[in-house]
Amino acid sequence: MTANPRPLLDVQDLHVAIEGKEILKGINLTLCEGQCHALMGRNGSGKSTLSHAIMGHPSYVITGGRILYRGEDLSALSTEQRARAGIFLCFQYPMAIPGVTVASFLRHALKAVEGERFDPKTFRKRVKQAMERLGIDSDFVRRHVNDGFSGGEKKRLEMLQMELLAPRLSILDETDSGLDIDALRIVSEGINRHLGPGNAALVITHYQRILSYVKPDVVHVMIDGRIVRSGGPELALELEEQGYDWLEPTSVEETSP
Ligand SMILES: Nc1ncnc2c1ncn2[C@@H]1O[C@H](COP(=O)(O)OP(=O)(O)OP(=O)(O)O)[C@@H](O)[C@H]1O
Ligand SMILES: [Mg+2]
């Protein structure tokens, strides 16, 4: 008999505004330990806004509701504290940091998150092993962070960070976009490796393709700042076939008896 799964992330009636404009209009989403949820939806519906709000980005103001992580309200924690608590966001648009090598960036990130647990003696070996698992060339660590990187290389660096940080909660914001077929498989394997007991992932995507490698327990559809439908993996297939129109709140009302 399996015990009831424990919620890792519990988003409750979340309202978020950017520059005074309400973007998220009451999001409810419970992600339990061991689960993978997919979040889909039109461009501009608020998916990245949700990921930034979970990470505590200062421009994204919570105007209602709350975000619980392992039962604790996240509002009092800074972004760095959230990272230390095991939350990791793979950015949709990773930023370039010219002048900073990938190696020194990773060292800094690991030190910041691991604190006293960080062991400088094993750092190089850890990075090398993680790069091997992800099929990344060893020259990669000498390049400057995202500076002149191709779209796929940027996503691979995000995955490398995830592989090294081994977060409890991974939020992957369109990590599959721009990946070639081999890279998509490698990235998916990376996500699956992290989906052990106690961990969970929220995969934001436009395409059903990644969901054939990373099996979601639940698929959510966001339209205009609200989750309008949640279902099993078949929902992603339906979206691929039919688009989003049939889930618009107005068309749902019109077709209900
Ligand atoms: N920093 C910001 N400043 C101003 N407006 C913003 C900001 N971030 C998001 N928005 C607005 O909030 C809305 C939701 O954007 P968001 O990036 O969350 O959408 P998304 O669902 O992730 O879209 P996509 O699929 O294109 O990535 C959009 O109208 C966007 O212009
Ligand atoms: Mg987005």
As a whole number, mean pLDDT of residues 83-103 equals: 93
Query: Measured from the CB, is residue 39 less than 6 Å from ligand 1?
Result: no
Instruction: Return the best residue to mutate from 14, 18, 95, 205 for the ligand 1 pocket (most ligand atoms within 8 A of CB).
Output: 18
pLDDT over 60 (residue 123): yes
For residue 65, what pLDDT band results from cuts at 50, 70 and 90?
A: very high
Residue nearest to atom 13 of ligand 1 (CA): 44
- Residue 200: what pLDDT? 96
- Centre of ligand 2 from the C-alpha of residue 104, in Å: 28
Residue nearest to atom 3 of ligand 1 (CA): 18
Tokens at 172, concatenated: 């992957």
Write a three-state SS string for 78-132.
CHHHHHHCCEEEECCCCCCEEEEEHHHHHHHHHHHHHHHHCCHHHHHHHHHHHHH
Of the bound ligands, which one is closest to the alpha carbon of residue 43?
Answer: 1
For residue 3, what pLDDT band results from cuts at 50, 70 and 90?
A: low
pLDDT digits (tens, 9 = 90+) for 162-191: 999 999 999 999 999 888 888 898 889 989
Query: Measured from the CB, is residue 58 less than 6 Å from ligand 1?
Result: no
122: left (phi over 0), alpha (psi -120 to 50) or beta: alpha
As a whole number, mean pLDDT of residues 97-116 equals: 95
- Residue 1: what pLDDT? 47
pLDDT digits (tens, 9 = 90+) for 132-172: 998 899 999 999 999 999 888 898 899 999 999 999 999 99
As a whole number, mean pLDDT of residues 124-129 equals: 96
CA-based nearest residue to 48, from 230, 202, 243: 202
pLDDT digits (tens, 9 = 90+) for 4-31: 789 999 999 999 999 999 999 999 999 9
Query: Measured from the CB, is residue 2 less than 6 Å from ligand 1?
Result: no
Query: Measured from the CB, is residue 81 less than 6 Å from ligand 1?
Result: no
pLDDT over 60 (residue 211): yes
Q: Indicate if the alpha-carbon torsion angle 98, 44, 156, 35 is positive or negative.
A: positive
- Indicate which atom in ligand 1 lies nearest the CA of residue 52: 18
For residue 257, what pLDDT band results from cuts at 50, 70 and 90?
A: low
Kindly state the percentage of the chain with pLDDT values over 70.
96
CA-based nearest residue to 53, from 40, 66, 34: 66
> 231 forms bridges with which residues in the sheet?
219
Query: Measured from the CB, is residue 46 less than 6 Å from ligand 1?
Result: yes
What are the sequence ranges of the domains in the chain? 7-255
Is 0.85 topped by the overall pTM? yes
Architecture of domain 7-255: 3-Layer(aba) Sandwich (3.40)
- Indicate which atom in ligand 1 lies nearest the CA of residue 206: 25
Of the bound ligands, which one is closest to the alpha carbon of residue 46?
Answer: 1
pLDDT over 70 (residue 37): yes
